[in-house]
Each structure stands twice: as C-alpha cells, then as structure tokens.
Amino acid sequence: MAAVLEILSTIPYDQILIQTVNGIVTGMILALVASGLTLIFGIMDVVNFAHGELFMLGAYVGVIVLAATGSFWLALVGATLVVALLGAALQIVTLRPLLGRDPLTTILATFGISLVLQNYALWQFGPVARKIGEPFTGQFTLFYLDYPWYRIVIALLSAAIIGALWLFLKFGTWGIWIRATTQDRVMAQAMGIPVPRVLTGVFAIGAGMAAASGVLFGPLVGVNHVMGVDWVLKAFIVVVVGGMGNLAGSIAAAIFISLLEAYASLWVSPAQAVIVSFVVLILTLLFRPTGLFVPTPK
Amino acid sequence: MSAVPTPAEALVSVDNIHTYYGKSHILHGVTLHIGAGEVVGLLGRNGVGKSTTLKTIMGLARPSQGEVRLAGRAITGLPAHKLARLGVGYVPEDRRIFRFLTVMENLRTGLDRHGVTSVRKQELLDKVFTYFPVLAERRQQPGGTLSGGEQQMLAIARAMMLEPRIILLDEPTEGLMPRMVSQIGQIIGALHRDGVAILLVEQNVPLTLEASERIYIMEKGLVRHHCTASDINVNDAAIRQYLGV
Amino acid sequence: MSRRRTAVYWTGFCVLLGLLIIAPLVLPEFWRRFLTEILIWGLLAMSSDILIGYTGMVSFGHSAFFGLGIYGAAAALLSVAPPSLLLALLFGLVAAAAAAAFVAYFSTRLRDIYFAITTLIFSQIFYVIIFTWTEVTGGENGLTFSRPPLAIPGLFSVRFTPNTLHWFVLGVVVLSYLLLRRITQSPFGMVLQSIRENEARTRAIGYPVERYKMVAVMLSGLFAGLAGVLYALQNQFAAPDFVFFLVSGEVVIFNVIGGIGTLVGPIVGAAFFLLLREGLSRFFTEYYLIPVGAIFVAMVIFMPQGLLGFARRWLNE
C-alpha cells in the first residue's frame, strides 16, 4: 500500500494538468486545420497537400495586417478572407480542370502548389521567423504556474469557428447545397445547384479555416515558410485516424493525439513526441482503418 | 388529337443526337419533339437508349453529334444545373433522392433559387403537400427512411420545386405497387393540367398509353415508330416486337 | 514488336549508352558529376515507376528506401574496416528491403489516396527516427565516410576514379533498367499492369492482388535502396534530408514529368528537372522551385502523360 502511495506521489499531477490544457489547446487548433482538410476531402475528393501552406500564408498575411493596423482581430479576419480568395482562385485554375480525372492527379497538383507557395513565402519574407504578438497578455494561475489566458482563448475561438461551420452546414441554403453535392453530385446538378461553384466555395472555406488557424497559432510559435509542413503531416494523420470526411471524428482525433503528445513531451523531447502520432496512425491502420472514432462498418 | 409540333414550335426538340457511353455508341441519331404542355411517352425494351436520351436532354450526357433545343434555344452540351434553372426537371430511374437530407431539405434543393419570393415558395410547398400528403407528414425525416413509393413521390415533388416547363420522368412506376402506379398516373394528369410538359419513359405500356398524347417507340438507339396514343395498333407485330410484349 | 521497331529501339539504346560512356572523357568535372547524379536519381525515379506507372500505386515513401540505402551503406563503410563495396551494397539493400517490407505490409490494406498519404507518413517516421537517434545516425549532421575500392574479394581491388565511378554507376543503372524491363514484360509485370487498369477485375479473375502489390513494393524499394547505395558511393555522406518526404515528392515529379509507365521516362524526367533546376537557379537562386513547381502543376493538368508518354506503348514492347 505504501509503495502504491509512493508511486502515486511521484506523478507530477500539476504538470499533467498543464499538459492536459496544452494538449487541448493544440488539439483545437489542429482540429481547425484538420476540419478544413477533411471537409475538402469529404466533399471534393481532393487531398489538399497545399493545406499547410495555406495555414502558413494565413499567418504571414496576419503578420502584415497586424503591422499595418495594429489589431490582432483585423489580422485574423483579413487573413481568413485573403487566403479564402486565394484558395478559390487556386481551385478554379488548377483543380477544376482536373475534375473528371483520377483523384491522384489532385494530390500531385496540390503538391506542386505547395512547393510554389512555400518558396514564394521564402522569397517574399525571407528565412527569418516573424512574430505575431498576442492580442492580450495576462495569465491566470494554474497550480503554481501562470498560464496565459491567450491559449484558452485560442481553444475557444477554434471551437467557435468549427461550431459555426457545423451550423452553416446544417442550416442555410449553402449548407444544403454542399451536403447534396457530397451525396450525389449528379442529382445536385440536376436540381440546379451550381456544383462547380459549390466546390470552389468549399475549397475557399477550407482555405480560410487553415488561414485562421495560422493566425491563431502565430503567437505561440514563429511564423516562417516551413511552419506548414509539420502541420500538414499532423493534419493528415488526424484526418486518417478520425476517418476521412468525418468532421466529428477529426476533431476527436485531433484532441486525442495532441493530448497524447503533450503527455509524452513530459518525458521525451518534442521532436520525439511526434512519434506518438505515428504510432496512433499505425495502430489505427492495423485495427480500425476506417477511423478510430468511426463505428466499424458491418 | 394533337398534331406533331414542328421543330420550330416545339418546347423541346431533339435532333439526330448521337451519344456514346465510353466507347459504346448508344444513340444513333435520335429525333423527337415535345410541345409545350404535351405529355409524350417514350417506349421500348430495356437497353434501347431511353434513359440515355433523357440524360442527353438534361445535360448529364454529352452528345457527340446533333442538337437539343429548349424553346428554340440551343442547349446542347449545357451543364445540368443550367438546364434545371431554365426549367427542365429530371426524375431519374431509381429516384436518387438525397438520402441523408430530410424531405424538407430535399425539396429545398429545388426551392432555394434566385427570384422566388417566399410567398411563392410557400405556394409551391402547399401544392406539393396537397398532391403528396404523406410528404407533409414526413417532412423532417431523412429521405433514406422513406419507402420506395414515398421516395418516388419525393423525387417528383423535388422536380416540381423548380417550376419546370417540362419534366423528364424515367420509369416512375418501376417497382411500385399497383395502388401507387395509379397514383403516379393521377399525378401525371395533374401536372398536365398545370401545363407542364412531360416526357415519360416507361416499361408500363398501358399506363403510358393512357397518360400520353403521343408515343415514340425506340429500338437500338433510334426512334422506330411514332404515332398518337389513340392511334397505336397494339396488335401490329412490329410494334409488339419493339415493346417486347 | 515488329522487327523494325526492335532495331530502332536497340540502336537508340546503344547510341545513348555510347554517349553516356564517352561522356566523362569529354565533360568537365562539374558536368560529369552532374551526369552521374542524374543517373542515380534516374534509377530512384525508375524504381518509383514500378509502383506508379505499372501497378498504379502512387507512393511518397521512396525517400525512406533511398535514405535507408544511403545509411545502410554508411553503416557498412563505417563499421567494417577495410571498407567493402559488397558489404555496403548488402547493408544498403537489406535496410531498404526491411523498410519496404514494413511499408508493403500496410500498402496492401489501403487503396490509392490512403496509401499515398500513409507512405508519406512512413517516410516521416523514418526521418524522425534518423533525425533524433543522434548516437547512431549522427542526427542532423549526418555521417561522412570514405569510398570503398571497386573490389571483388580475392580477385582484384582498385580505387575508384571519377571516371570509373561514373562507369560503375552507369553499369548498375543500365543493368537495373534491363532487369526491370524484363520484369515488366514478364507475366508478373502483366499482372501488375492489370492491377493498375482494374484492380477489382484482376482480383475477380483470381489473382492474389495483395501479394502482387507487396512484391511490387519490395521490388521498388530494393532498387530505390540501390540508388541510395550509389549515392553514398558518389557523395560519401549521409544526411536525414534525403529521408524527408519532399525528396519523395521530387521523385514523383520526375515520374510525372518524364512519363509514367515507361521506365526510361522517369530518368528523362530526372534529367529535365535537374537541368531545369541548374539553369533556373542561375536566375532565381534558391527560389527555382517556384517556376519549377508551376511547370509541374501545368504538366499535371495539360500533359499528364509526361514528356515520353506518347512513346509509352512503344517503349514497353
């Protein structure tokens, strides 16, 4: 009994709690990125390799708007709109021509776009990381540590954006159009739904969400041209683990994986903590390939 | 007896269209016309190209040759969503309602259009719920939970939401019980009274003869016979062969 | 294939081979080295073509096989003295094969897009392991080692000169090409292509599609590993950068640009890309990827069959 108590007392509860909060915060941002990705895949059957770059460009636009206006919130809105427009333009120019073809061509095309965007950012902004200032400082005490309010706000905002997306899809004309197009593209057209425009719109929404995550996450890390690469990988893992095209699944998976990684980083370095997500992926593929949180199809 | 409308005055005119499905040459030069407000039947055995004809008109299949016109305007090759907006409604084989959308949402896919006042929308809904009371009852249920007959009604109701000038009906009575079949016949009559033209593809010959004013019979990708419904000689050997009876 | 076409094909082949043999004697060192690199990347791209072009499986995992080929060779050359060419080959191929077996196991369970993403993630797994296991792999800094002599134990041993290295690489690449060509034209290769055309039907006919796919992945991985060993020999250093998934992406670019399903196409694609990079980097310095990426996207849209795609049937007969 004493031995058990002794073991229990060595567990760093306070650190675990802090990591729990960290994990949820990161998880919510990851969920925001991943939901854009899974939306695009579920509705358009497009694997958007450039998603991480849209995230990165969102952060950069945020930097610019912040520098110009001094307002974080304007930066958030501005980045979302600008990148959403960029996404729409990209979709019209490069993905629409690929509509009837083998879905693998979209992977290649978006991969090419990601290379262009990444290097464009490098060219325009240089290799030195920029910073987005937090919109407000201030902390509250979590145990004996000061935990920044800002992080909680990010998590709440991400949740709010995802919630808004869900409401948009559930009600409203565009929501019906999007859901109809996902279920039966041919009949959606026969009902007068302008399917090509719907697809562009969906891509723009996904891009906007990625950009918003970029701005929200900006203050936590430096903004540079490769910040998208790590995120896109993680987002893909989340999407596969959550079940491709399954919005609720990717949110659950994002939080789950982020929590595990946060706990893992108590013992190993962050670079090694990512192995957690890889392990989760492998286990999912082995035992529940349709998605960890998806009921196994009979 | 209605005269065959000339191509100039027809609401929909299909001229010598050839349509392929991959490498298969399905339509070998189909020509037919439908006048405004007419009910025209398209008969023939399985596989002769009736559905493909409807799909070509609807812009879901692109003809390699030939022309399709709507009220004189060439619409060949236009995408389906433009045609729906121009007033062509389509009720496909196997219904294809949106299974995960509710009945109401299914109707809204056609109802939510530019330039339709909310008063008009309510009128359309009321009309459809009068024709199909069971849909009113089930309006919040997902389409996939409806029975076959109810789904067929929903498919027709959905097309009606577009306020179409013509509805393309592909085998609406397939797989339905006799009671429902006669209900479909009544719906067709009601649509006709509303002034909507109908191109009816069917395997059910008696129903078609009763509902339609004129009949085309197709065989192997071509129109082989054309007459008014009352003039058709069901004892003619050639006609029996075309119809597979 | 008709007599005449066979003759044309082999004549072309011999002419090209002749040019490649003479090349190191006439080219300045920089270009000689460049040519050798093209051959190595070409081999890597060719190995990827087995999957993409012949079996219809897009893989982003080749950086793992390639990288493990390099590190395997490095391990042999660093741990066993005197450094032995054969051991380097052996270690490199075994390492790549192990990775390929790992990937192959999963590959069969996933279709298309899921397979592509998963292979990408697997490359990253290997990358992270190599990057963080600093004691063994040298982490970020990689490993340097010396080049072994061209030797057959007991028979002869002679140091590589730049020219003989080039000829050695050329020999290996040509042999690989001929071997792969033989394989793709064999009944096995035909089954792979049938899987690419219509997997469901191939399975319905009765072929154990999973097993064929696994063999295809192993085969592809082996030749990618071979390319890695050659790279190690040429450059004498190993770094985690080669395992990063972007390298896989570049390989796929070579395949698409050159023309999938042609075996030679990817080599041409590699040459095209590397030359383009060399040329454009004079103007754009390190931002050459912007125009190259744009060209790639344009090719995917407008010229999906690649540069040699038009000759695909001909090259396969």
As a three-state string, the secondary structure of chain B is CCCCCCCCCCCEEEEEEEEEECCEEEEEEEEEEECCCCEEEEECCCCCCHHHHHHHHHCCCCEEEEEEEECCEECCCCCHHHHHHHCEEEECCCCCCCCCCEHHHHHHHHHCCCCCCHHHHHHHHHHHHHHCHHHHHCCCCEHHHCCHHHHHHHHHHHHHCCCCCEEEEECCCCCCCHHHHHHHHHHHHHHHHCCCEEEEECCCHHHHHHHCCEEEEEECCEEEEEEECCCCCCCCHHHHHHHCC
Whether A115 sits inside 8 A of C58 (CB atoms) is: no
Query: Nearest residue of C to residue A124 by CA position?
Result: C287
Answer whether A touches C (≥3 Cβ pairs < 8 Å). Answer: yes
Residue of B90, B92, B98 lying closest to A183 (CB–CB): B98
Residue of B59, B79, B84 lying closest to A191 (CB–CB): B84
Residue A260 lies inside a defined structural domain of this protein: no
A120 to chain C: which residues are within 8 Å by CB? 287, 290
Distance from CA of C287 to the nearest CA of A (A): 6
Question: Looking at the DSSP assignment, which residues form a beta bridge with residue A142?
Answer: A145
Alpha-carbon gap, residue A109 to A103, rounded angstroms: 10
Fill in the amino acid letter for C235.
N
Whether C121 sits inside 8 A of A113 (CB atoms) is: no
Whether C301 sits inside 8 A of A98 (CB atoms) is: yes
The CA-atom distances, in angstroms, between C149 and each of A127, C57, C156, C165 are 41, 38, 10, 10
Q: Which of A191, A199, A247 to mutate to test binding with chain B, by most B CBs within 10 Å of its CB?
A: A191
Distance from CA of A196 to the nearest CA of C (A): 17
Q: Looking at residue B80, which CATH number applies to its domain?
A: 3.40.50.300
Q: Which two tokens stand for residue A223?
A: 């903004």
Mean pLDDT of A71-98: 92
pLDDT score recorded for residue A297: 46
Contact criterion met (CB below 8 Å) for A199 and A181: yes
pLDDT score recorded for residue B166: 95
For residue C20, is pLDDT > 70? Answer: yes
Whether A190 sits inside 8 A of B81 (CB atoms) is: yes
Q: Which two tokens stand for residue A293?
A: 């949180």
Residue of A47, A107, A289 lying closest to C109 (CB–CB): A289
The CA-atom distances, in angstroms, between C14 and each of B57, C7, C9, C18, C21 are 57, 11, 9, 6, 10
Residue A142 φ/ψ, nearest 5 degrees? -120, 105
pLDDT score recorded for residue B1: 39
Look at B41-55, B63-77, C10-24 and tell me which has the smallest mean pLDDT. C10-24
Burial class (CB in 10 A: 0-12, 13-18, 19+), A118: buried
Measure CA of the first residue to CA of the last residue in chain A; give whole Å.
Answer: 46
pLDDT score recorded for residue A243: 82
For residue B188, is pLDDT > 90? Answer: yes
A104 to chain C: which residues are within 8 Å by CB? 58, 112-113, 116
pLDDT score recorded for residue B155: 95
Whether A47 sits inside 8 A of C113 (CB atoms) is: yes
Where in the sequence is the domain holding A39, given as residue range(s)? 18-236
Look at A60-74, A222-236, B93-107, B225-239 and tell me which has the smallest mean pLDDT. B225-239
Residue of B79, B96, B162 lying closest to A187 (CB–CB): B96
Burial class (CB in 10 A: 0-12, 13-18, 19+), B214: buried
Mean pLDDT of C202-220: 88
Beta-sheet pairing, C143-144 with C237-238:
antiparallel
Residue in C70, C57, C121 with CA at minimum distance from that of residue C224: C70
Residue of B60, B85, B99 lying closest to A186 (CB–CB): B60
For residue B3, is pLDDT > 60? Answer: no
Tell me how many residue pairs between chain A and chain C have CB atoms under 8 A apart. Answer: 97
Beta-sheet pairing, B166-170 with B88-91:
parallel
pLDDT score recorded for residue B190: 93
Whether B84 sits inside 8 A of A188 (CB atoms) is: no
On the question of a cis peptide bond just before residue C83, with omega within 30 degrees of 0, the verdict is no
Higher pLDDT among residues B56 and A11, named by residue: B56
Whether B98 sits inside 8 A of A192 (CB atoms) is: no
Query: Nearest-5° angle of CA A165, CA A171, CA A177?
Result: 85
Residue A288 lies inside a defined structural domain of this protein: no
Residue B4 lies inside a defined structural domain of this protein: no
Fill in the amino acid letter for C50.
I
Contact criterion met (CB below 8 Å) for B54 and B105: no
Residue in A186, A194, A197, A96 with CA at minimum distance from that of residue B58: A186
Q: pLDDT tens digits, residue range C117-127?
A: 888 888 888 88
Query: Nearest residue of B to residue A186 by CA position?
Result: B60
Residue A256 lies inside a defined structural domain of this protein: no
Mean pLDDT of A99-113: 83
Query: Nearest residue of B to residue A184 by CA position?
Result: B98
Residue in A216, A185, A245 with CA at minimum distance from that of residue A58: A216
CATH number of C3-315: 1.10.3470
Distance from CA of C67 to the nearest CA of A (A): 19
Where in the sequence is the domain holding B83, given as residue range(s)? 12-243
- For chain C, domain boundaries: 3-315
Distance from CA of C149 to the nearest CA of A (A): 38
Helix (H) or strand (E) holding C237: strand C237-238
Mean pLDDT of B189-194: 92
Question: Looking at the DSSP assignment, which residues form a beta bridge with residue C238?
Answer: C143
Q: pLDDT tens digits, residue range B31-63?
A: 999 999 999 999 988 888 999 999 999 999 999
Q: Is the dihedral of CA A212, A213, A218, A224 positive or negative?
A: negative
Residue B1 lies inside a defined structural domain of this protein: no
pLDDT score recorded for residue C19: 84
Question: Looking at the DSSP assignment, which residues form a beta bridge with residue B142?
Answer: B102
Fill in the amino acid letter for A152.
I
What's A95's DSSP letter? I
Task: Give the number of other Cβ atoms within 10 Å of residue C179's Cβ.
Answer: 12
Contact criterion met (CB below 8 Å) for B78 and B42: no
Task: Note whether A233 contacts C: Cβ–Cβ < 8 A.
Answer: yes
Whether A112 sits inside 8 A of C293 (CB atoms) is: yes
Contact criterion met (CB below 8 Å) for A37 and A205: no
Whether A173 sits inside 8 A of B60 (CB atoms) is: no
Q: pLDDT tens digits, residue range C159-188?
A: 777 788 888 888 899 999 999 989 988 999
The CA-atom distances, in angstroms, between B217 and each of B201, B220, B239, C126, C241 are 10, 10, 8, 66, 69
A107 to chain C: which residues are within 8 Å by CB? 58, 113, 116
Alpha-carbon gap, residue A177 to A174, rounded angstroms: 5
Residue A280 lies inside a defined structural domain of this protein: no
Higher pLDDT among residues C307 and A201, named by residue: A201
Alpha-carbon gap, residue A294 to A279, rounded angstroms: 18
Residue B5 lies inside a defined structural domain of this protein: no
Burial class (CB in 10 A: 0-12, 13-18, 19+), C161: exposed
Q: pLDDT tens digits, residue range C214-255?
A: 999 999 999 999 999 999 888 888 888 888 888 888 898 888
* Polymer length of chain B: 245
Residue B165 lies inside a defined structural domain of this protein: yes
Q: Treating both helix axes as pointing N-terminal to C-terminal, what angle do C264-284 and C245-258 enclose, rounded to 10 degrees?
A: 110
Q: Which chains touch B (3 or more CB pairs under 8 A)?
A: A
Q: Which two tokens stand for residue B143?
A: 């389409």
Q: At a CB cut-off of 8 Å and minimum separation 6, what does A114 contact?
A: A49, A50, A52, A53, A228, A232
Give pTM, 2 decimals.
0.86
Place of tokens 């960029």: A86
Alpha-carbon gap, residue A112 to A118, rounded angstroms: 10
Task: Note whether A231 contacts C: Cβ–Cβ < 8 A.
Answer: no
For residue C210, is pLDDT > 70? Answer: yes
Alpha-carbon gap, residue C229 to C216, rounded angstroms: 20
Residue B200 lies inside a defined structural domain of this protein: yes
B85 to chain A: which residues are within 8 Å by CB? 192
Alpha-carbon gap, residue A188 to A173, rounded angstroms: 13
Range C77-108 burial, b when 16+ CB lie within 10 A, else e = bbeeeebbbebbbebbbbbbbebbebbbebbb
B96 to chain A: which residues are within 8 Å by CB? 184, 186-187
For residue C207, is pLDDT > 70? Answer: yes
| Residue A237: CA count within 13 A, CB half-sphere | 27
Q: How many structural domains does chain A have?
A: 1
For residue B68, is pLDDT > 50? Answer: yes
A187 to chain B: which residues are within 8 Å by CB? 92, 96-98
Higher pLDDT among residues A70 and A164, named by residue: A164
3-state SS, residue A68: helix
Fill in the amino acid letter for C85.
L
Alpha-carbon gap, residue A69 to C158, rounded angstroms: 69
Q: How confident is the model at residue C40 (pLDDT cuts 50, 70, 90)?
A: very high
Q: Is the dihedral of CA A25, A28, A33, A38 positive or negative?
A: positive
pLDDT score recorded for residue C313: 67
Interface of A with B (CB under 8 A): 173, 176-177, 179-180, 183-184, 186-196
pLDDT score recorded for residue A295: 60
Q: Treating both helix axes as pointing N-terminal to C-terminal, what angle do C29-49 and C245-258 enclose, rounded to 10 degrees?
A: 90
Task: Note whether A120 contacts C: Cβ–Cβ < 8 A.
Answer: yes
Alpha-carbon gap, residue A241 to B60, rounded angstroms: 36
Task: Note whether B90 contacts A: Cβ–Cβ < 8 A.
Answer: yes
Range B119-150 burial, b when 16+ CB lie within 10 A, else e = eebeebbeebbebbeebeebeeebbeebeebb
Residue A242 lies inside a defined structural domain of this protein: no
Burial class (CB in 10 A: 0-12, 13-18, 19+), A125: middle
Query: Nearest-5° angle of CA B222, CA B227, CA B231?
Result: 145
Alpha-carbon gap, residue A128 to A222, rounded angstroms: 9
pLDDT score recorded for residue B167: 95
For residue B67, is pLDDT > 80? Answer: yes
Query: Nearest residue of A to residue C248 by CA position?
Result: A111
Query: Nearest residue of A to residue B158 by CA position?
Result: A191
Residue of B60, B81, B96 lying closest to A193 (CB–CB): B81
pLDDT score recorded for residue A271: 73
Distance from CA of A105 to the nearest CA of C (A): 7
Residue A277 lies inside a defined structural domain of this protein: no
Whether A109 sits inside 8 A of C114 (CB atoms) is: no
For residue A102, is pLDDT > 60? Answer: yes
A116 to chain C: which residues are within 8 Å by CB? 289-290, 293-294, 297
Answer whether B touches A (≥3 Cβ pairs < 8 Å). Answer: yes
pLDDT score recorded for residue A298: 38
Task: Note whether B105 contacts A: Cβ–Cβ < 8 A.
Answer: yes
Cβ within 8 Å of A, B 54-73 = 58-60
Contact criterion met (CB below 8 Å) for B202 and B41: yes
Contact criterion met (CB below 8 Å) for B48 and B124: no
Q: What percentage of chain C carries pLDDT values higher than 70?
A: 94
Residue in C129, C136, C71 with CA at minimum distance from that of residue A278: C129
Q: How many structural domains does chain B have?
A: 1
Q: pLDDT tens digits, residue range B104-153?
A: 999 999 998 888 888 999 999 999 999 999 999 998 999 999 998 899 99
Mean pLDDT of C133-148: 78
Q: How confident is the model at residue A210 (pLDDT cuts 50, 70, 90)?
A: very high
Interface of C with A (CB under 8 A): 58, 106, 109-110, 112-114, 116-118, 120-121, 124-125, 128-129, 131-132, 245, 249, 252-253, 256, 286-287, 289-290, 292-294, 296-297, 300-301, 304
Distance from CA of A73 to the nearest CA of C (A): 31
Alpha-carbon gap, residue B170 to C140, rounded angstroms: 66
